[in-house]
Structure 1
């Protein structure tokens, strides 16, 4: 059994660890007191901020932890060759198979990027590797269940997310097979670590949990801040324009960089926007955000990353609008 090396770019920085510690302190110590004393005026706004922030963090953390644990298990125990042998070489068939495989293999978006690079290095067609990279963090079972919990009584939101994210992976894969450029790094990135499965599992889970939780805290804070600072008339004005609202929440997903296991709870907190705009937030985020863009540049090269970012954003917004119009 051979194990994948952990990409150093995925290790959490000090700022993300600080964010996680602050979130834990707020939840454990300050949350109940803040909610108890919050009343009118500025205190009322503080109470609203705390309520929204704590709600998003507490609802999302269990799914984040579960998703990270499953992704770590896949990294530690499933060798690359399993997927390599399962994917047809022709893009017409390989891309849909890779998308379906991604739906069955839980993984965070940060881990899926170096995984895609390893697959390319071992001979998998870039179109199929990219389809797997886009599908795995967006439509795996943990994300599907988390979305259902975040939108109770709205099963079509779950269906729409699966359909839109699957369409994104397939379309990007097929288009890339025609107009894609080679990745800068083509060497085999598979590293042997016999007998270290438990160590690799612990390393992956620890690194991903700290990094992802930091981005979750940031995303929850952004949603809470929007709730208390943006005038309702402004939100209503943007939300009332279908295409504009989809673009705005799509770009917001790029900036806040919330992990896919938790982004449904952040999207649900954006209740002033249409269901289609909320869908766009969940479709764009796992495919493209600021941290993923940096990983794309580091692993695939700047030219590859720039073309991929433009393609992913355009297709993600288009499929969100189309699927939202049909299903939501």
Structure 2
């Protein structure tokens, strides 16, 4: 009885004293911030925003924003194309289509998939979601990865742009075509030999149309998931590429241009870091006149297969374990194939 009366008196005191109720609420929800701290934060917010705004208006930051926005805007339409095509494959194309088109033996399916990359007029951003959709539909990962690598480099749009960027030099177009196909095929076979399924992230959605579900709804959901997921990694890759683009002085390029083999390695690294879309990389390579034709070939072969935004997209789609191994191996194979084929044709 005594405890009951004490609880009742405490309740009455809380009702009579609003401050006590406020203090109890503050204790339940966490300590309230003292008003001097809130006032100080409000006062300091203005100068901080002012300094940040002036810093963002610096020429270096303006150049960074321009490069980052250019890379994103340049790649976004092709990412949109790729995710739409991925959603359409997942919702509308029966699995038996792929079993009929591709050879049953994975070793033969790899070069066929590499050649089939010529039918997708897009850049590397479009090929990642399409390759993911092909794997979900039962295509062997080796063939899907061969398609992923070849599509941005051997399609008619890219080859036409290369011919325009290097007028009167059809050998550069042929060398790009052969080196890209050789790299894609070699990487597909390399995956058959050394690749492991546990390196791939488990698929989030089941591929194929499920009975009782609207195909249009599956297309919409698949497109929405792939586009939002890949778009975030595209922006991260563009930010990293822009950071390198504005931080490396022109004089560094001149230092490496004088060494034949060092220039090849540097151009491969430059292709990874600049992350230029495959439709435009030939014009960038043509502008680097201080480098040898072989070094410029390496730039346009490596770039569509390994760059910062593509690594980010692969990590977000297939997993970081896959992206780290696959991108490293692809860069090495691409440099080797470019050196062998470019040494003969150029």
Q: TM-score range by the shorter chain?
A: 0.5 to 0.7
On the 8 A contact 2:238/2:309 being kept in 1, the answer is no
Question: What's the TM-score once normalised by structure 1's chain length?
Answer: 0.67
Relative to structure 1, the CA distance from residue 224 to residue 157 in structure 2 (aligned partners, 3 Å threshold; closer, same or farther) is farther
Relative to structure 1, the CA distance from residue 216 to residue 91 in structure 2 (aligned partners, 3 Å threshold; closer, same or farther) is same
Relative to structure 1, the CA distance from residue 74 to residue 246 in structure 2 (aligned partners, 3 Å threshold; closer, same or farther) is same
How many pairs does the alignment contain?
Answer: 270
CA distance in 1, matches of 2:76, 2:317: 26
1:166 paired with 2:166, answer no
CA distance in 1, matches of 2:81, 2:317: 23
DSSP 3-state at the match of 1:258: coil
Cα deviation, 1:284-311, whole Å, max 9, x if unaligned, reads: 1111111111222222222222211121
1:230 paired with 2:250, answer yes
On the 8 A contact 2:79/2:126 being kept in 1, the answer is no
Out of 332, 342, 346, the position equivalent to 1:314 is 332
CA distance in 1, matches of 2:287, 2:77: 21
Out of 82, 90, 95, the position equivalent to 2:105 is 90
On the 8 A contact 1:138/1:260 being kept in 2, the answer is yes
Cα deviation, 1:92-128, whole Å, max 9, x if unaligned, reads: 2011100011122223211211221222222211111
Aligned to 2:200: 184
Asked which structure has the greater RCO (Cα within 8 Å, sep 6+), the reply is 1
Relative to structure 1, the CA distance from residue 195 to residue 282 in structure 2 (aligned partners, 3 Å threshold; closer, same or farther) is same
Relative to structure 1, the CA distance from residue 139 to residue 277 in structure 2 (aligned partners, 3 Å threshold; closer, same or farther) is same
Out of 124, 130, 139, the position equivalent to 1:124 is 139
Question: What runs of 5+ residues in structure 1 fail to find an aligned partner?
Answer: 1-49
CA distance in 2, matches of 1:69, 1:308: 24
Relative to structure 1, the CA distance from residue 235 to residue 150 in structure 2 (aligned partners, 3 Å threshold; closer, same or farther) is same
Relative to structure 1, the CA distance from residue 224 to residue 148 in structure 2 (aligned partners, 3 Å threshold; closer, same or farther) is farther
1:103 paired with 2:118, answer yes
On the 8 A contact 1:215/1:259 being kept in 2, the answer is no
Aligned to 2:317: 299
CA distance in 2, matches of 1:191, 1:123: 9
Relative to structure 1, the CA distance from residue 144 to residue 200 in structure 2 (aligned partners, 3 Å threshold; closer, same or farther) is farther
Report which stretch shifted further, 96-105 or 69-78: 69-78
On the 8 A contact 2:306/2:327 being kept in 1, the answer is yes
Larger Rg: 2
1:247 paired with 2:268, answer no
Question: What's the TM-score once normalised by structure 2's chain length?
Answer: 0.64
